[in-house]
């Protein structure tokens, strides 16, 4: 089980809700993925105005836990404001803190992320900060009391996968709360590698929403995350530079 704050989830795949070709595909992809946690940009969702269609309305909200994110915030203050709006809607008490510090890379601002995390923790939120793969920053975020740490595999939407598996591994090893690898996942094997490194979950959006067949990719992702967890637990063989026979033949007679 993936335990975050007072929640428990069987699925370790978290899905974003942006950029799907249409609501029907999105709904099907979400169902197939087995995800129990859906993230959405508070500023994007029309939760405050009924005039426009809204994907969340189409969902059976009994089945999903919503994880609003503060996408669009560039300061801690903005992130806190957005998080409070989300909470006020009554839909959720969790928040993914996302404070972008660079428009080109969409990588997070460490200082503002720390501030927003601290403030929202004080306010009683269940806080999951989105962070770079800075090892010590992840530690500071955990020390503040974050309920999970969400390091980026690579820039949001880039599909570059895990650029720096070493730093992710360091973060995973040092962190006692769940580590959910977030952003940059391009293929199902990227999600699997995150889990094989020991991550507790993976959050992705574009890799499914932007695939040629989002529903099929959602299934691939579900299986990849589950298989990656199994692979981590099963304990892989060490890498060796040279070869080792699968079936050693010393002393055998037939030749």
Please report, as residue ranges, which positions from 149 to 168 form the binding site for its own copies (by CB under 8 A). Answer: 154-160, 163-164, 166-167
- Smallest separation, CB 91 to its own copies (Å): 15
The CA distances from residue 122 to 48, 80, 90, 141, 143, in Å, are 25, 11, 18, 13, 13
- Smallest separation, CB 245 to its own copies (Å): 6
- Residue 115 or 147: which CB sits closer to its own copies? 115
Q: How far is 44 from 50, CA to CA, in rounded Å?
A: 13
Q: How far is 6 from 16, CA to CA, in rounded Å?
A: 21
- Smallest separation, CB 121 to its own copies (Å): 16
205 is in an annotated binding site: yes
DSSP tag of 222: H
Please report, as residue ranges, which positions from 171 to 230 form the binding site for its own copies (by CB under 8 A). Answer: 174, 186-189, 192-193, 196, 205-207, 209-214, 216-217, 219-221, 223-224, 226-228, 230
184 is in an annotated binding site: yes
Task: With contacts defined by CB under 8 A, name the span among 4-12, 71-79, 87-95, 118-126 that binds its own copies.
Answer: 71-79
157 is in an annotated binding site: yes
Task: With contacts defined by CB under 8 A, name the span among 4-12, 41-49, 56-64, 88-96 that binds its own copies.
Answer: 41-49
Partnered with residue 128 across adjacent β-strands are: 96
Number of residues that bind its own copies (CB under 8 A): 95
| Binding of residue 84 to its own copies (CB under 8 A) | no
**Interface residue with its own copies, options 102, 122, 123, 145 (CB under 8 A):** 102
- Residue 71 or 95: which CB sits closer to its own copies? 71
| Binding of residue 134 to its own copies (CB under 8 A) | yes
Q: How far is 142 from 117, CA to CA, in rounded Å?
A: 10
| Binding of residue 34 to its own copies (CB under 8 A) | no
Q: How far is 136 from 134, CA to CA, in rounded Å?
A: 6
- Residue 1 or 237: which CB sits closer to its own copies? 237
The CA distances from residue 188 to 48, 49, 90, in Å, are 34, 36, 34
Extract the tokens encoding 106: 């969409």
The CA distances from residue 189 to 92, 131, 224, in Å, are 31, 22, 7
Q: Is 234 exposed, middle or buried (0-12, 13-18, 19+ CB in 10 A)?
A: exposed
* 212 in active site: no
Partnered with residue 130 across adjacent β-strands are: 150
- How many CB atoms within 10 Å of residue 84? 15
Please report, as residue ranges, which positions from 104 to 123 form the binding site for its own copies (by CB under 8 A). Answer: 104-111, 114
Given the residues 24, 27, 96, 169, select the one marked as catalytic: 96
**Interface residue with its own copies, options 3, 8, 19, 63 (CB under 8 A):** 19
Residues annotated as catalytic are 96
């Amino acid at each position: 089980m993936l335990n975050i704050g007072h929640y428990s989830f069987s699925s370790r795949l978290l899905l974003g809700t942006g950029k799907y070709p249409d609501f029907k595909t999105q709904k099907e992809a979400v169902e197939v993925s087995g995800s129990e946690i859906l993230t959405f940009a508070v500023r994007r969702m029309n939760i405050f105005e009924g005039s426009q269609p809204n994907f969340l309305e189409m969902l059976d909200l009994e089945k999903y836990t919503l994880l609003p994110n503060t996408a669009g915030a560039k300061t801690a203050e903005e992130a806190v404001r957005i998080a409070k709006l989300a909470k006020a809607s009554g839909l959720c008490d969790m928040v993914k803190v996302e404070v972008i510090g660079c428009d080109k890379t969409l990588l997070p601002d460490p200082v503002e992320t720390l501030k927003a995390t601290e403030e929202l923790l004080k306010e009683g939120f269940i806080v999951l900060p989105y962070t770079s793969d800075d090892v010590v920053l992840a530690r500071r975020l955990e020390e503040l009391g974050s309920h999970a740490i969400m390091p980026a595999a690579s820039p949001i939407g880039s599909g570059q996968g895990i650029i720096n598996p070493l730093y992710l591994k360091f973060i995973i090893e040092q962190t006692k709360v769940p580590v959910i690898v977030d952003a940059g996942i391009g293929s199902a094997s990227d999600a699997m590698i995150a889990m094989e490194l020991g991550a507790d979950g993976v959050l992705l959006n574009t890799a499914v929403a932007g695939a040629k067949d989002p529903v099929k990719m959602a299934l691939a992702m579900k299986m990849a995350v589950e298989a990656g967890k199994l692979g981590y637990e099963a304990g892989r063989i060490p890498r060796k530079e040279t070869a080792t026979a699968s079936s050693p033949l010393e002393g055998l007679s037939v030749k």
